[in-house]
Chains A and B, each alone.
Chain A
Amino acid sequence: MNLNTLYNLRWTVLPPVVGVAITVMAGLALVSAPTEVVEGDVQRLLYVHLPSALASYLSFGITAVCSALFLITRDFKWDAGAQAAALVGLIFTALTLITGALWGRPIWGVYWQWDPRITTTLILFLIFAAYLVARKSSELDNERIARFCSVYAIIGFLDVPLIHMSVRWWRTLHPQPIVSRLDPALPTEMLLVTLFSVTAVLLVAVWFIVLGVEIELLSQRLLKIKGRVR
């Protein structure tokens, strides 16, 4: 499936697929998944926390790739993709931080811990918040701000490997990875629900990004029309 096919499915196939996936995910996470013995029901936040973190990595990755493609081709459709993915990434990073804080309170006794991975995720949030603020508030011409933000997004994205690896680089309160390794530490039922949740949330992220691209392309067209009228 190429990108154009995916884009053409934004109002037909993607909404029902995403709707069904999220409904099934909610059912699996809240009812079917077994209750964790030590942490209890609060552990169910895993089914939102981990997929949100992965969705934010995916979104920021798309932002970085689209930004690089924009710098090479100077085609504004890539800039639209970068902007849309940055916004979606920001939403999912916020969700990751919020669910992490809610999970941390009963388990660690605090909402926030200055753990390297959590801190780096917060930094990532600030970087892409600054990216979007610059996009929306700068009075530089469209081409210059697009170039500026593309460079900024690529540099910002290079923080993501630091986030992923930091849990292994520094001693930390944050648990070691339990899914993204050869012998996952989760029981099979929990692992299956987690994998389904990841798929469902990634589908939501992709759909949001596709809708965001449409909004950006429409606003680019509107700007062109306004320019011609003037």
Chain B
Amino acid sequence: MDLAYQYSCLISLTVADLKLTWREKSAWLTTALFACAALLIYSFALDLASGIVVSLLPGVIWTVFLFAGIFSASQSFHADRENGVLDALRISPVHPTIVYLSKTISNFVQLAAIQIPVLLGATVLFNEDIFQINIIMIVLLGTLGYCSLTTLLSALSFGSKSTNLMLPVMALPLLVPLLIACVEATASVLDDTPDGAPWMMLLVLFAIWTTLISALMFPLAD
């Protein structure tokens, strides 16, 4: 396998995917709007504006990201399958792992871009200093672990009429350790307590584990 060629393919595929996503605004705009609406709904349902918000806020933020991400992941292979791009890539010299990695990076960038305004919005709405470097690190690590897993599952389940139903049912149980680690790590930063280190370690392990295992499994399953 020519590594330089595969690397250039990875860059080209990722850039192409991001360009297509940017042009077809419906998917990421819908996801971003869903995330903002969900944050508002949580705020009304749990009275986040008046109560003690610090203990609830990490859970609210991460459940919003989780559901918005599922929304986004279920669409990630839609255009590629419809236009026969995946079939074309299958007969090209591009390694399947490169296809998977390009899609994961593209999904990661999309979801991270959606999360920034949500974090900003939560900072303004709930008067909590959420937009800080430690939380951004947690968000990026959590998003990496999340995207690597949901991208694989989305690729595998796509084509079924019930993809939108199957993806959350299958992904959410696998994502529970990630959710717990993200919520606990975020809470420890907001509470300014030092017990976030093990959760950060779990987060890093989960991100590495899911990325590696998904990259290995994708060519086998394709």
Chain A positions within 8 Å of B, measured between CB atoms, are 71-72, 119-120, 123, 126-127, 130-131, 133-134, 137-140, 144, 147-148, 150-152, 154-156, 158-159, 162
Contact = CB atoms under 8 A, between A and B. Distances in A.
B49 interface: no
Contacts of A158: 209, 213
Contact of A127 (B173, B220, B221): B173
A159 B169 CA distance: 17
Which of A120, A131, A138, A147 has the most B CB atoms < 10 Å from its CB? Answer: A138
Nearest to B219: A71
A146 B177 CA distance: 26
A68 to B, nearest CB: 9
Nearest to B159: A140
17 contacts: A123-B177, A127-B174, A130-B169, A130-B173, A133-B169, A134-B169, A134-B170, A137-B162, A138-B157, A138-B162, A139-B160, A140-B160, A144-B159, A148-B221, A151-B217, A154-B213, A155-B217
Contacts of B200: none
B170 A130 contact: yes
Nearest to B156: A148
Nearest to A128: B173
B103 to A, nearest CB: 15
Nearest to B169: A130
A138 B220 contact: no
B187 to A, nearest CB: 15
B174 A151 contact: no
B105 interface: no
Contact of B221 (A120, A134, A151): A151
B109 interface: no
Nearest to A126: B173
Given A126-B173, A134-B166, A134-B170, A71 B220 contact: yes
Given A134-B166, A139-B160, A151-B156, A156 B174 contact: yes
Contacts of B169: 130, 133-134
A147 B173 contact: no
Interface in B83-125: none
A222 to B, nearest CB: 22
A139 B157 contact: no
B133 interface: no
A123 B173 contact: yes
B73 interface: no
Nearest to B218: A151
B4 interface: no
A154 B214 CA distance: 10
Contacts of B152: 151
Nearest to A147: B221
B161 interface: yes
B66 interface: no
Contacts of A162: 177
A71 B217 CA distance: 9
B217 A139 contact: no
Which of B152, B173, B176 has the most A CB atoms < 10 Å from its CB? Answer: B173
A71 B221 CA distance: 7
B152 to A, nearest CB: 7
A152 B156 contact: yes
Contacts of B221: 71, 147-148, 150-151
Contacts of A150: 221
Interface in B152-182: 152-153, 156-157, 159-162, 166, 169-170, 172-174, 176-177
